[in-house]
Structure 1
Amino acid sequence: MRNKIKTFVSILSLTAMVFALIFTSESATVTVDAAKDKVVIVLDPGHGGTGDRNLGAQYNGISEKEITLKTANYAKAYLENFDNVTVYMTRTSDTEVTLEDRVKYAKSVNADFMYSIHFNASVEHDLCGSEVWVSAYDKYYENGYEFAAAEIQELSSLGLYIRGIKTRLGSNGDYYGIIRHARNYDVNAVIIEHCYLDHPADVAWLKSQADPYQTLAIADATAIAKYFGLKSTKLGLDYSTYKNVDIPTPTTVMGDDLTPPTVCTINSVTRDRSTGDITASITASDPDTPIIYYRYSFDGGKNWSYVVGWNRTKTTDTVVIKDPSIKATSLTIQVYNQYDGKTVSNTVTIQ
């Protein structure tokens, strides 16, 4: 497997560290960050604008540009309950603001951190879950990753599937403009992609909440408060002893994984004739980034199921697949790594 640029610390080991944080107590981390005397936060509601420009994802009756603003407003209101915090927003209405102007604004108010709020969609409508994008460079990677670890812990606690903490490189450095401009202006910035608007699992989660955007906003604000070690006299909260995961400042660029998983093999398949359930033993691995999903096909890969979360603690796992028709005669598996690289397995006859 090739990384675009050789990394100082493998992304796999760092991702595993953060994945472990989701299931362990805060005491498992190692660095304490005390709150500054005054913290300046900039919230950046993604997209915005009239007509058909800069709308963001538009699926299932949901408009990304509208819900990013709603989420940011909720997050601002919650953060303002904390002591010694000033919160700004790059837009407060349905207006188009360039990526560089958003960063210039954050710089003008001396932002300690800028959080770009987004929701997701995929070309094949086959992905689900939450992810945080960070800069691939030096202290911006370190600071972004340390915040992102707190963020994904909060989103995981809500029941959202975690896709990971990621970097992406383009021809001019960081691929995403908001992160690239932020680094150029010496501003810490991340992109929070809360969930997918075009996948049934995430849409079901959104519909399960009384107000999903308030729920997500409080998760964002809580992660921010933890990262900065904030206190709230009003809410009776004190995160001053919260321990951020300790990520070393890399000395080389933290490149994204550009190649698919190396292993995807079906070891065995059995069927329960009474229920139609298919039990399959699958081995899947990638030396650079975790396997995060699998999906299956009963027709040799012509049609695929929705993705299913892979157990990231295992290389070989046994999964149960429903076949209500009890007519499937073959099984093919496809696995995805953290960067959505895909590998297809052998096709096995179902006895």
Structure 2
Amino acid sequence: MRKSRFWTAVCLLLVSALLLAVFPMQTEAKSADGKTVIVIDPGHGGSDPGAQEPPFGEGAMTLYLSLWEAQYLQCYDNVEVYLTRTDDSSVGLKERVNFAVSKHADFFACNHFNDSENPAVSGGSEVYVSINQSLFPQEAFFAQTELDELSTLGLNVRGIKFRVGDHGDYYSVLRNCSKNGLEGAIIEHCFLNNENDRKYLGGGDTAALQNVLQTMAYADARAIAKHLHLKSTIMGVDYTDYQESEITWPVLPFSADM
């Protein structure tokens, strides 16, 4: 039964890929006042600190990165930006998406840092998207844009991923985004237990880590701005006519051994 669900999801994604090649999709704002609404979700927090690989703590890192990302996004014209948490507090997974829906969000970006039980896992960035056939094309385009941005920072690119669970998407935030027709993605920036990624994060130097997280936040914001075709009068950039790059196939299922 589990294998059957997996291959059904794969077939749906292949159909989506074919449709994507023939009918490229463009994300448009849907809020009542015409503004583009973006919700940034700093993963974990409070009683759920996430991956802990001293001196790195995921919950604290996602919050710091997300606060900077929100500041960068607020520099774009006609945009509203919200965060699901602004301190070290616990927020339920479903509540995070419900908050985004209550704000009539156009996009939901869930920030994380990775960890693996496999010490030999290759480090780098990956983006998880929904298996929902109607959302997959837009989310895959964003994922590729995000990975392109992170690769310019020197991070290894592990690709666009999906994970199938018993009730559709394995990850709760993607599953609940899907139920609400909300475009979203989970960004796993790098691995906290990979030697190369740990060096990239500053190797334990606090000032270096803060600089890296700010740089990542800017890359994240730029990827979202490109995907949503935003422009910023203050920064002098205009992505209104931005053409997203072709998706690097294949989109891969989750694997703990990769």
TM-score (structure 2 length as normaliser):
0.84
Quick one: which amino acid aligns to residue 111 of structure 2? I
Whole-Å separation in 1 of the counterparts to 2:148 and 2:198: 20
Whole-Å separation in 2 of the counterparts to 1:8 and 1:44: 27
Asked if structure 1 preserves the Cα contact closer than 8 Å seen for 2:163 and 2:253, the reply is no
Asked if structure 1 preserves the Cα contact closer than 8 Å seen for 2:27 and 2:227, the reply is no
Q: Sequence identity of aligned pairs in percent?
A: 39
Residue 226 of structure 2 aligns with which residue? Answer: 226
Is 1:185 aligned with 2:180?
yes
Which of residues 155, 160, 163 is equivalent to 2:158? 163
Which of residues 37, 41, 61 is equivalent to 1:40? 37
Which has the bigger relative contact order, CA under 8 A and spacing at least 6?
Answer: 2
**Per-residue deviation, 1:184:** 1.5
Residue 79 of structure 2 aligns with which residue? Answer: 85
Residue 333 of structure 1 aligns with which residue? Answer: none
Question: What aligned pairs does 1:1-351 form with structure 2 within 5 A after superposition?
Answer: 4-5=7-8, 6-8=10-12, 10=14, 31=24, 33=26, 36=29, 37-49=34-46, 53-127=47-121, 128-207=123-202, 211-245=211-245, 289=250, 339-340=254-255
SS in 2 for 1:142: helix
CA shift in 2, pair 1:181/1:33, >3 Å: closer
Whole-Å separation in 1 of the counterparts to 2:97 and 2:13: 28
**Per-residue deviation, 1:4:** 2.8
> CA-atom RMSD, angstroms?
2.8
Quick one: which amino acid aligns to residue 70 of structure 1? Y
Higher strand share: 1
Whole-Å separation in 2 of the counterparts to 1:93 and 1:217: 17
Asked if structure 2 preserves the Cα contact closer than 8 Å seen for 1:32 and 1:241, the reply is no
Asked if structure 1 preserves the Cα contact closer than 8 Å seen for 2:124 and 2:157, the reply is yes
* Gapped regions of structure 2 (runs ≥ 5): none
Whole-Å separation in 2 of the counterparts to 1:213 and 1:79: 15
Asked if structure 1 preserves the Cα contact closer than 8 Å seen for 2:13 and 2:133, the reply is no
**Per-residue deviation, 1:145:** 0.8
Asked if structure 2 preserves the Cα contact closer than 8 Å seen for 1:34 and 1:240, the reply is no
Quick one: which amino acid aligns to residue 221 of structure 1? A
Higher helix share: 2
* Gapped regions of structure 1 (runs ≥ 5): 18-29, 248-287, 291-336, 344-351
CA shift in 2, pair 1:172/1:48, >3 Å: same
Quick one: which amino acid aligns to residue 232 of structure 2? S
SS in 2 for 1:139: coil
Whole-Å separation in 1 of the counterparts to 2:223 and 2:95: 25
SS in 2 for 1:82: coil
Asked if structure 2 preserves the Cα contact closer than 8 Å seen for 1:43 and 1:88, the reply is yes
Whole-Å separation in 2 of the counterparts to 1:83 and 1:4: 42
**Per-residue deviation, 1:78:** 0.4
Whole-Å separation in 1 of the counterparts to 2:191 and 2:85: 23
Whole-Å separation in 1 of the counterparts to 2:231 and 2:129: 26
**Per-residue deviation, 1:341:** 7.1
Quick one: which amino acid aligns to residue 228 of structure 2? F
Whole-Å separation in 2 of the counterparts to 1:9 and 1:174: 12
CA shift in 2, pair 1:246/1:130, >3 Å: closer
Computing the radius of gyration from Cα coordinates, the structure with the larger value is 1
Residue by residue, what CA displacement relative to the aligned partner does 1:297-319 show, whole Å, maximum 9, x if unpaired? xxxxxxxxxxxxxxxxxxxxxxx
Quick one: which amino acid aligns to residue 235 of structure 2? L
Residue by residue, what CA displacement relative to the aligned partner does 1:36-94 show, whole Å, maximum 9, x if unpaired? 44100000000001xxx311011131110001000000000001111001000000111
Whole-Å separation in 1 of the counterparts to 2:92 and 2:159: 27
Q: Aligned residues, how many?
A: 239
Residue 308 of structure 1 aligns with which residue? Answer: none
Greater Cα offset, 228-237 or 201-210:
201-210
TM-score (structure 1 length as normaliser):
0.62
Runs of 4+ in 1 over 2 A off after TM superposition: 1-6, 8-11, 30-37, 244-247, 337-343
Asked if structure 2 preserves the Cα contact closer than 8 Å seen for 1:35 and 1:230, the reply is no
Greater Cα offset, 80-89 or 122-131:
122-131
Whole-Å separation in 2 of the counterparts to 1:341 and 1:63: 21
